[in-house]
């Protein structure tokens, strides 16, 4: 499948992670253009008109968020969220490892737009390669005069700091990220105030995802109309989808928003492996409800996926094939949330443990008849009752799995075995 690449340019230009190669292919020209031709407010306006929405999960309009910064003369910060720990999502990793200068260029333009003098990249601790690539790219940008004082004689000055997290999923939540960046345990903060008003060190702060910021240079170069010519009115532009599961070509694909899910699987990812068919799809990372095979024509844009009962989220598209045991998949994901719950609030801390416990015995063929009711009850006590969205994320897939595959859950309890042929195990040895 031929596809335009404006973000994952590494997929068509070898060694674009190298400064010279990036420059030779127009790299940092958008920065030059922004500094020479635009006032900061005009860049904010351009991004607003492009309709770019945050690619970290919530899809909030980026230019609108930038516009929330109070104009009170206090220092402002840009913080780029490169924590990416959502199961099934691996797009930011490719961007920082293989096209890091595009992120740096996007950060400089974005910082100019919001008039930040310091910007941070919060990099997931496990991404050692990404951290090294970003650190090198930042040094190269300094050496070329794209960072530091008086960038390109514009009078604008910016320093970028690359910070390594310590490997906690909750530190991807923006307020927990800021706590961690300030050197504390990564627990979420109460909102409001939102980071745009009181963020890093209590100052107005914009937190944006890696992919969001990587979109900024091509928008400056090619214009808002170019961006809105793709996708839909409310979901314009490009989105990177990470496709995993038993497809022929798992990987990251850059698609115009509103591309049908079926095309992503069949055309971009090469279809299902021989002998496999789609059982269900998690379209937006492990936190969202599943879609069924009769929903494969759903256009992948924020509104259409929501209407279909799920969310586009971070774009982590996990394709579960017909051999997957839905109980095992649910157990596996709930265990992830149990491990990653920060423990600050009771429904999430206790609820994720309960759900994992119950799922463990159901999967093992040792469940009781009332177990599905317990699972739904615990999920109900989490739903909308937690301090941060991680709680709701922990039940998204499970509740939809029980709704669509109730028979499979019940069969585990009734027959003390897995109808998909998965080995049930002795919990004593688990
Ligand atoms: C538990 C949890 C984990 C998150 N992890 C990430 C992450 O790894 N990367 C990310 O960009 N946003 C993540 N988010 C969303 C951020 O809180 C925030 O909305 C986002 O970074 C804003 O950037 P955007 O507007 O560019 O999407 C997470 C949210 C939650 C609740
Ligand atoms: S919902 Fe979970 S992760 Fe979020 S604050 Fe509560 S315990 Fe922590």
Tell me, yes or no, if the pTM score tops 0.95: yes
Q: Is the pLDDT of residue 430 over 60?
A: no
CA of 88 to the centre of ligand 2 (A): 21
What is the rounded CA–CA span in Å between residue 176 and residue 201? 13
DSSP state at residue 13:
S
Q: Is the pLDDT of residue 426 over 70?
A: no
What CATH architecture applies to the domain 238-321?
A: Roll (3.10)
Cβ 188 under 6 angstroms from ligand 2 = yes
Q: What CATH number does domain 326-429 carry, 1.20.1440.230, 2.40.420.20, 3.40.50.720, 3.40.190.10?
A: 1.20.1440.230
Q: Is the pLDDT of residue 425 over 70?
A: no
CA of 103 to the centre of ligand 2 (A): 30
Q: Is the pLDDT of residue 47 over 60?
A: yes
Atom of ligand 1 nearest to the CA of 85: 8
Q: Tell me the average pLDDT across 158-164.
A: 98
What integer pLDDT is reported at residue 121 of this predicted model? 98
Q: Is the pLDDT of residue 395 over 60?
A: yes
Cβ 382 under 6 angstroms from ligand 2 = no
Q: Band the pLDDT of 131: cuts 50, 70, 90.
A: very high
Domain extent listing, the chain:
9-228, 238-321, 326-429
Fold of 9-228: Rossmann fold (3.40.50)
Query: In this structure, what token pair is assigned to residue 101?
Result: 């200068």
Pairing of strands 118-123, 77-82: parallel
Q: Tell me the average pLDDT across 319-335.
A: 97
Cβ 33 under 6 angstroms from ligand 2 = no
**Mutational pocket test of ligand 2: of 179, 191, 348, the residue with most ligand atoms within 8 Å of the beta carbon:** 348
Q: Tell me the average pLDDT across 266-271.
A: 98
Q: Which residue(s) pair with 242 in the sheet?
A: 252, 316
Provide, rounded to the nearest whole percent, the portion of the chain with pLDDT above 70: 98
What is the rounded CA–CA span in Å between residue 169 and residue 176? 10
What integer pLDDT is reported at residue 2 of this predicted model? 56
Supply the DSSP string of 292-357, one letter for each residue.
Answer: -GGGTT-BSSHHHHHHTTS--TT-EEEEEETT--HHHHHHHHHHHHHHH--S-SHHHHHHHHHHHH
Q: Tell me the average pLDDT across 295-300.
A: 98
- Whole-number mean pLDDT of the chain? 96
Q: Band the pLDDT of 4: cuts 50, 70, 90.
A: confident
Q: Is the pLDDT of residue 342 over 90?
A: yes
């Amino acid at each position: 499948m031929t596809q335009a690449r404006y973000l994952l340019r590494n997929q068509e230009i070898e060694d674009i992670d190298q400064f010279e190669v990036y420059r030779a292919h127009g790299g940092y020209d958008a920065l030059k253009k922004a500094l020479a031709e635009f006032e900061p407010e005009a860049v904010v306006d351009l991004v607003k008109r492009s309709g770019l929405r945050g690619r970290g999960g919530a899809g909030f309009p980026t230019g609108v968020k930038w516009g929330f910064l109070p104009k009170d003369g206090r220092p402002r910060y840009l913080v780029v969220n490169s924590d990416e720990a959502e199961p099934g999502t691996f797009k930011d990793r490719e961007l920082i490892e293989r096209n890091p200068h595009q992120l740096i260029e996007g950060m400089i333009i974005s910082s100019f737009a919001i008039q930040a003098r310091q910007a941070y990249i919060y990099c997931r601790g496990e991404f050692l390669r990404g951290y090294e690539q970003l650190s090198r790219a930042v040094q190269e940008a300094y050496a070329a005069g794209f960072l530091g004082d008086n960038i390109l004689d514009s009078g604008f000055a910016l320093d970028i700091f690359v910070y390594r997290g310590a490997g906690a999923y909750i530190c991807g939540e923006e307020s927990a990220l800021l706590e961690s960046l300030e050197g504390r345990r990564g627990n979420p903060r109460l909102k409001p105030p939102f980071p745009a008003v009181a963020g890093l060190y209590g100052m107005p702060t914009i937190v944006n995802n890696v992919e969001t910021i990587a979109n900024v240079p091509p928008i400056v170069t090619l214009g808002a109309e170019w961006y809105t010519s793709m996708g839909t009115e409310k979901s314009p532009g490009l989105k990177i989808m990470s496709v995993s599961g038993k497809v022929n070509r798992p990987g990251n694909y850059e698609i115009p928003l509103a591309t049908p899910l079926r095309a992503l699987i069949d055309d971009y990812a090469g279809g299902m492996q021989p002998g496999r068919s789609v059982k269900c799809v998690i379209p937006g990372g492990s936190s969202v409800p599943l879609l069924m095979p009769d929903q494969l024509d759903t256009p992948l844009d924020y509104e259409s996926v929501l209407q279909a009962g799920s969310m586009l989220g971070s774009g982590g598209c996990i394709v579960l094939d017909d051999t997957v045991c839905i109980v095992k998949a649910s157990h596996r994901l709930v265990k992830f949330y149990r491990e990653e719950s920060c423990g600050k609030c009771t429904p999430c801390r206790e609820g994720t443990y309960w759900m994992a416990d119950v799922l463990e015995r159901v999967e093992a063929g040792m469940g009781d008849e009332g177990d599905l009711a317990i699972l739904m009850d615990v999920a109900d006590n989490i739903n909308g009752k937690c301090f941060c969205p991680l709680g709701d994320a922990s039940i998204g897939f499970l509740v939809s799995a029980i709704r669509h595959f109730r028979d499979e859950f019940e069969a585990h309890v009734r027959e003390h075995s897995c109808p998909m042929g998965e080995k049930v195990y002795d919990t004593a040895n688990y």
